[in-house]
């Protein structure tokens, strides 16, 4: 299918288009689930050197939802992608393509990324985009509680500034929208984000809705020092 047509369909609203049905892989709900198994197209794409210039072209179709800046939307429908580690982007897209992370809205578009080189290219491009500071935030009422919990339970992986860790596939949270993270955190707690890291799930399982709200509000205010995350 032509890229321009895909963009048109995305603008019209992808849900109106009955694309190919997403596969369903065994995730965290299954016995023997292995987080981030090093196999398949993910490994192929990770081995390749992404070309950001070529990736810019491939990103056109993505920009219909995630915006040309990569900033997504504060209403939480579309996550902010700019400056995310390429390793994290490759893992998430491969998981969506493989049916390990359910994303019916995006699946038809992820499905067109069949070439590991194209996947590496588009992720290399997204990683170069600047992380926005005007992302959606929470109401700011429970920031003390949020900070306490973040520093106790999340900072070891997601970092003091929300910088994550590209070598370990820990995502950048700095600049991410409050409403998107709130949905993800609840889905992670409730076992619905099926590609989630089990060590994180174990921690977050004990959280109340109020605690999740507080921590996500705090996370939505994290900012990376100028220059963004350290890139390889």
- Under the rule (CB under 6 A), what is the footprint of ligand HEC? 10, 14, 61-62, 64-66, 77-79, 81, 89, 92-93, 103, 105-106, 109, 113, 122, 153-154, 156-158, 169-171, 176, 181, 183-185, 195-197, 199-200, 203-204, 215
What's the closest the beta carbon of residue 199 comes to ligand HEC, in angstroms? 4
Report how far residue 195's alpha carbon sits from residue 33's, in angstroms, rounded to the nearest whole number: 9
Largest separation between any pair of C-alpha atoms in the chain = 50
What's the closest the beta carbon of residue 43 comes to ligand HEC, in angstroms? 15
Nearer to ligand HEC, 141 or 156 (CB): 156
Nearer to ligand HEC, 77 or 230 (CB): 77
Report how far residue 97's alpha carbon sits from residue 119's, in angstroms, rounded to the nearest whole number: 11
Report how far residue 207's alpha carbon sits from residue 189's, in angstroms, rounded to the nearest whole number: 8
What's the closest the beta carbon of residue 225 comes to ligand HEC, in angstroms? 20
Estimate to the nearest angstrom the gap between the alpha carbon of 122 and the chain centroid: 14
What's the closest the beta carbon of residue 231 comes to ligand HEC, in angstroms? 16
Q: Residues 128, 121: contact at Cβ < 8 Å?
A: no
Place of tokens 């019916």: 104
What's the closest the beta carbon of residue 197 comes to ligand HEC, in angstroms? 4
Report how far residue 141's alpha carbon sits from residue 195's, in angstroms, rounded to the nearest whole number: 31
Report how far residue 6's alpha carbon sits from residue 18's, in angstroms, rounded to the nearest whole number: 13
* 16 CB neighbour count, 10 Å cutoff: 7
What's the closest the beta carbon of residue 113 comes to ligand HEC, in angstroms? 5
What's the closest the beta carbon of residue 139 comes to ligand HEC, in angstroms? 17
Nearer to ligand HEC, 92 or 166 (CB): 92
Nearer to ligand HEC, 135 or 176 (CB): 176
Residue closest to 152 by CA, chosen among 211, 213, 208:
211
Nearer to ligand HEC, 65 or 129 (CB): 65
Nearer to ligand HEC, 78 or 224 (CB): 78
Estimate to the nearest angstrom the gap between the alpha carbon of 31 and the chain centroid: 25
Nearer to ligand HEC, 135 or 184 (CB): 184
Q: For the purposes of burial, counting CB atoms within 10 Å of the CB of 52, is it exposed (0-12), middle (13-18) or buried (19 or more)?
A: middle
């Amino acid at each position: 299918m032509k890229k321009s047509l895909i963009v048109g369909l995305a603008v019209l609203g992808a849900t109106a288009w009955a694309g190919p049905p997403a596969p369903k892989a065994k995730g965290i709900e299954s016995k023997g689930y292995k987080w981030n198994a090093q196999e398949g197209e993910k490994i192929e794409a990770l081995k390749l050197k992404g070309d950001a210039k070529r990736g810019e072209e491939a990103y056109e179709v993505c920009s219909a939802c995630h915006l040309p800046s990569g900033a997504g939307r504060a209403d939480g429908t579309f996550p902010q992608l700019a400056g995310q580690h390429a390793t994290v982007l490759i893992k998430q897209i491969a998981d969506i393509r493989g049916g390990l992370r359910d994303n019916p809205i995006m699946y038809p578009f992820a499905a067109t990324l069949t070439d590991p080189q194209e996947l590496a290219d588009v992720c290399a491009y997204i990683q170069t985009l600047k992380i926005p500071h005007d992302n959606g935030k929470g109401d700011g009422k429970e920031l003390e509680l949020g900070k306490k919990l973040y520093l106790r339970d999340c900072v070891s992986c997601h970092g003091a500034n929300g910088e994550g860790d590209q070598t370990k596939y820990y995502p950048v949270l700095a600049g991410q929208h409050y409403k998107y993270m709130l949905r993800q955190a609840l889905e992670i707690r409730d076992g619905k984000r099926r590609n989630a890291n089990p060590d994180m799930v174990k921690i977050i399982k004990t959280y109340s809705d109020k605690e999740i709200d507080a921590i996500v509000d705090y996370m939505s205010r994290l900012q990376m020092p100028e220059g963004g995350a350290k890139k390889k």
